[in-house]
Structure 1
Amino acid sequence: MADGTEFDPKREIDDSMVLSAFCMRRIGLSFESPKTMTSFLLQKLMFVASVCGICYHVFSEIVFIGLTLANSPRVEDVVPLFHTFGYGALSISKVFVLWYKMDVFKQLMGELATIWPAPPLDPEHQLIKDNSLSALRIAHRWYFFMNVAGVWFYNVTPIGVYLYALLMDQEATIGFVWVSWYPFDKHKPFAHFAVYLFEIFAGQTCVWIMVGTDLLFSGMASHIGMLLKLLQRRLEIVATTAKTDEDNYQEILENIKLHQRLIRYCNDLEVAFSLSNLVNIVLSSVNICCVVFVIVLLEPFLAVSNKLFLGSALIQVGMICWYADIIYYANADVAVAAYNSGWYRTNPRCRRALLFLIKRSQKPIAFTAMGFTDINLVTYSSILTRSYSYFALLYTMYSDN
């Protein structure tokens, strides 16, 4: 390399996934094995506490929704409870995927290092790589900031409302972060303090899970999209320079093998994330619809938190659809790149090999929600359309009441 240091693809990949790894460590998961027994026990304890915390958090919200429906089944009383419940339910599905598929993710990270573009690269290839990594870094930082800022706005909102009431000489009490049910009187001083801390922990844990999983998926998908774009450039220059037929055939063969590895990698990644993608697609429309409804109705203090929630929800599902869409079209463009090569200068054996590559590239590579639907920007558009339809229905019901 230019600076004289040894190139390490694993380190470069880890640097691009640093925020995902940071969030995963906050819930007791890591691709690195603990070095001591103490570290191992602390990691397991953190994971158990995180899972138990969010499971009770979601359970308490389900109970509260049931009690609210039984006592006051009005739209304005029930709808504000659903988007936080949906976020928690989505977090449970994602932490299950992270835990159950951890070995698969480790294997995928190792495979990615074996096909990572190593220097020296020509300027055009290096530019594609640099732009892809830079765009991914910016997207990850913004997504991380939106989610962490959003949950802490929720965490400090009860205190902000309390201070505002004191300033206005009104009766003031510190409320709670979330609307949940507990099998004891949570308004007693010590119980109030304990519940407040627990709700901060549960909400932050949900964010660590959501961000860690989404950044892991988007990072891997972005890298595969980058490798497919590099493959396109390699195909475009096939037979454009003076080479023997055997050299051209070997170059085409290497590109075919790389394409097949990328297809297998995408299929493995699709299987690993298919369940969480299904839950994501199902719940996203409801979450977006409910939080928009809440923003229209609630006080300014809560509106700030909910607007951040809406922004993170839109970015969250949009980012997944965006990177899945990149892979979908990058694979289709492989066929175009092969056709734009100098195939007409090659012998029949090379042309047959390129024809095989073109035919395979025309078969889409798509991430799915357990096979029910493909995930791409069309899916994102459908989610937004459904969200608006649900919101219009709820708003009509509210206006009639």
Structure 2
Amino acid sequence: MIARLAQNFHVALERHFPERRVFLRSDTDTRFIRLKPGTQLIAFTGTALIVAWSIIATSILLMDSIGAGNFREQAKREQNTYMQRLNALSEERDAYAADAIAAQERFNSALERISVMQSELLSAETRARELKTGLEVVQTTLRDVMGEKKETRAQLAELQEALEGDGTLPGAGDGASSEAVDLLAAALERTAKERDQVVADAQDALLAADEMAQRIRAMETKNDAIFRQLEEAMTISVEPLDKMFRAAGMNTERLLDQVRRGYSGQGGPLTPLSFSTRGEEPGLDASRANGILGQMDRLNLYRIAAQKAPFALPVKANFRYTSGFGMRWGRMHKGSDFAAPHGTDIFSTADGVVTFAGWLSGYGKLVKIQHEFGIETRYAHMSNIRVKKGQRVSRGQHIGDMGNTGRSTGTHLHYEVRVGGKAVNPMIYIKAANDVF
């Protein structure tokens, strides 16, 4: 059976590839090469394979070239999109910075107005107290004068009765009676003038008190409008910062207490106001002013905390966001990757102290910075390190250059944020700050 199949295969092979002879002639001799059907089949098969491989390889190269062109175009589109987004973020940041400067100027103006208001209110309180004391004195004097008037009228009535009875004063002659009447008339006239003067003074004091009351009411209305504007400005300024810290998962009260312990001094414009000079409880205006100052203190503490937490971007030049926080290729990727040209400046995202600056395994050239609130940031795969261990750095300070050191497939920055030693998504802080900075 096998022999028959072999014979049939040989017959078919001879039919398609008959035996051929190739003659090689020279000047002195003629030779030939006999090509058997099997040899021709092998040569044909090899040639066919080479041709097929050439076609496939050419197709792959062509498709790869087309795909690479599309990828470059897509990369360019993505880069343009990122650049537009970065420009928009930069414009928003500049706008927020301008608003912050304007708000600070408004706060300074408000502090000056509050100081003037405090002085005016203290002066008004002093004048009101003096008027009250003066009115009490006038009322006391008026009561005394009225009492003397009543006594004088009673004496006058007794004298008139005596004169009408026998024409003489008790215990006196005619001359003495006439002198007594003259003295009595003069005393009555003097008492009447004093009474009229006291009444006029009392009326003037009442008019002055009414005028002072109207001025105080007008000042209270003006102060209420100023307080409302200041309270609204403080709400607009404090709420975004409070929202930013809460979006980053931070306990705002605990954070502010920690900052306050580091900056425990208080004085100057943030000193609580007291509009009373007699140890009394502060009034409504004083309470509102103290509330505004408390909000301003909270705003300043938030601004200090914002400098100490990593809310800024580590790269300010144009970059491409290449990889995020989470699982990647079956392994946990504990940071975010930012790709940009080799040597791009890398900046600290918050105030802190450099705890490591050197080579570390897969990180390559690495910088670690310890910040407040138990936060640490890491900057890996650098080409150059610009800081030293133990150095204190500020937010936005140049700490290194982007590179491709360590376990890296291309030039980029691997940026990590760790809280209490545990890696968290850096974009939580970056996105939380988009509405503020």
> Which TM-score applies when normalising by structure 1?
0.26
The structure with the largest helix share of the pair is: 1
Kindly indicate which of the two structures has a greater share of residues assigned to strand.
Answer: 2
The structure with the largest alpha-carbon Rg is 2
TM-score for the superposition, normalised by structure 2: 0.24
Q: Which has the higher contact order (CA 8 A, sep 6+)?
A: 1
